[in-house]
Amino acid sequence: MNDYDVIDSYLTGRMTGTDRVAFEASLRTDPALADDVAFYVMARQTAKVQANEQRRTEWDARRRAAAAPVQPLHRLGQWAYPLAAAACLVLALGFGWYFLNQPSATELADAYITQNFTTLSVTMDGRTDSLQTGIRQYNEGNLAGADATFGTLLQRDAANADALKMAGIVSLRRGNYDQAIAQFHRLSQRTDLYANPGLFYEAVARLKRNQPLDKPTAKKLLTTVISSNLDGKDEAGKLLERL
């Protein structure tokens, strides 16, 4: 058993009885033993300090990793809470104003329909074919009559793109949105037309119907209209900006 072993036994309380008494007697008379005891005590305390330093460093890293550095609030002093409350109020009002003033998808569609579908142009050549009859009925506000006329025309000539477009517009004005979307979609599938507004009209009809997936679908359609340079490209750009 070396000196540190003995000191260890004594200071941890494992040494008892006569051994303990003998150790204490040696300590009084043996300067070298006293020196070893002093070193033992110092070494343990120094180790504790260094271990604590290590733990502090670990915890500091842990704290910094857990959260971004906190800005001390005391820099703002007594104004911290009133300023924070004021900032929240301004933000709330700002967001409220912004969202309340943003037109809805339906309102955008309504604006387009009002501007473009209230009156349809009639050719001035005096023809009295079914297409012109339907358009006149439409312009006179006889939407049911126009619907029947375009329907009859399509039964006779399913490939009549003008009739299909007009039928879609009538369906949209009459509130038959599902039918309007289907008709505009059929029109958009035609690849033999010089100008085909089918995709753009379908987007407008979806915005008007405004079911859960209609708005994102309409956005995709409008994007396609722009990227494919289709009929309605300019209007599509304006609508997309406001959606």
Partner 1 sequence: MRLSFKKLSDTDLIDGILAGDPDRRLCENQLYDRYAYFVREGTRKHRLSEDDCASAYSDTILSVIDHILTGRFEGRSNLKTYLYQIFTNKCVDFIRKKTTNRSSVHDALSIDDALLQLPDSARSVVQQLITASDMERLYAQLQTLGEKCRSMILAWGEGYSDDEIARQLGYNTAAVAKTSRLRCLERLRDSYR
Among 16, 46, 102, 123, binds partner 1 (CB under 8 A): 46
Sequence-separated contacts (24+) of 151-160 with Cβ below 8 Å: 160/131
Closer CB to partner 1, residue 41 or residue 93? 41
CB-CB contact of 184 with 202 (8 Å): yes
Q: Which is nearer to partner 1, 17 or 212 (CB)?
A: 17
Minimal distance, residue 24 CB to partner 1, in Å: 5
C-alpha to C-alpha distances, 116 to 95, 121, 135, nearest whole angstrom: 32, 10, 14
What residues from 65 to 104 belong to the interface with partner 1 (CB under 8 A)? 66, 69-70, 72-74
Choice from 47, 92, 93, 144 touching partner 1 (CB under 8 A): 47
Whether 116 contacts 101, CB under 8 Å: no
Among 22, 43, 86, 144, binds partner 1 (CB under 8 A): 43
Q: Using the rule CB under 8 A, is 140 a contact of partner 1? A: no
Indicate which single residue of 14, 16, 22, 34 sits in contact with partner 1 (rule: CB under 8 A): 34
- Taking alpha carbons only, the member of 228, 226, 224, 184 closest to residue 208 is 184
Question: Do you know the residue count of the chain?
Answer: 243
194, 161 contact by CB (below 8 A): no
Choose among 212, 238, 207: nearest CA to 105: 207
14 binds partner 1 (CB under 8 A): no
**Is 15 among the residues that bind partner 1 (CB under 8 A)?**
no
CA angle 92, 97, 103 (to 5 degrees): 135
Residue from 14, 16, 22, 38 touching partner 1 (CB under 8 A): that is 38
Least separation in angstroms between residue 11's CB and partner 1 is 6
CA dist 235 and 117 (Å) reads: 14
Q: In the complex, what is the shortest distance from the CB of residue 98 to partner 1, in angstroms, rounded to a whole number?
A: 33
The least CB distance from residue 79 to partner 1, in Å, is 13
Query: Residue numbers of the site for partner 1 (CB under 8 A)?
Result: 2, 4-5, 8, 10-11, 13, 24, 27-28, 34-35, 37-56, 59-60, 62-63, 66, 69-70, 72-74
